[in-house]
Amino acid sequence: MKKIILIIILVFSPLLVKADIEKSPNEILNEIQSSQNVTKIENIDCAEVTDSQFEELGDAYMEVIHPGENHELMDQMMGGEDSDSLKAMHTLMGKNYLNCDNRTSGTYGMMGSNMMGGMMGSAGSMMSMMSGWNNSIGKGGANTMMGNLGWGTGFSFLGWLFMILFWGLIILGIIALIRSLAKSGQIKEKTPLDILKDRYAKGEIDQNEYETKKKEL
């Protein structure tokens, strides 16, 4: 029983903790603009934005598209709090939100058509989706993307990726739970005698037939 409780806790504990996001993306954008003495998002100098600011912006934006418990679960699947992999993902999301990858590298960022073109070959529809995602979170489309909440065409790739990871985690947890129950003897295959008893209890066979078949077994 203790093993079962432990497995349930391990599987569902990420869902029990809410992401602690104190600032909205707009508040962080205002701070960045204020630090650079600019009044418009398009005037932000990407080279002057620190990695910590990008990370904070990406983290806040993830809270918008995957609020509360979902955000915490996504963080756990990407390495957990304070992990380098999670910081890198938040930083990347912050850069893409400001469209800074476009300006600094001349590409469409992580999900852009140049990179995806080399990886996906002739998958034109996939490239369009990726480019659409990046374009929608650029400076010109930040407000539109904010209203999308991440599950429409603008954020479909990461949305589906997170959903697959989420359900994969749930399935693995269920499998582990079943195996644990089986090992502890709480789940076992029915023997012919068990089946016979069930049939007798349900009234499918009478006592004489039950006794006869029981002797045969």
Q: Please check the confidence at residue 199 and state whether its pLDDT lies above 50.
A: yes
Type of residue at 123: A
* pLDDT per residue as tens digits for the range 12-31: 554 444 444 468 999 999 99
* pLDDT per residue as tens digits for the range 27-74: 999 999 999 999 998 899 999 999 999 999 989 988 888 888 888 888
Q: Please check the confidence at residue 185 and state whether its pLDDT lies above 80.
A: no
pLDDT of residue 52: 92
Give CA angle at 70 (163, 84), nearest 5°. 90
* pLDDT per residue as tens digits for the range 149-171: 344 444 455 667 777 888 888 88
Q: Please check the confidence at residue 107 and state whether its pLDDT lies above 60.
A: no
Query: What pTM, to 2 d.p., does this model score?
Result: 0.43
Rounded Cα distance, 55 and 81, in Å: 12
Contact 113, 76 (CB under 8 A): no
Q: Which residue has the higher pLDDT, 130 or 184?
A: 184
Contact 139, 98 (CB under 8 A): yes
Rounded Cα distance, 178 and 180, in Å: 5
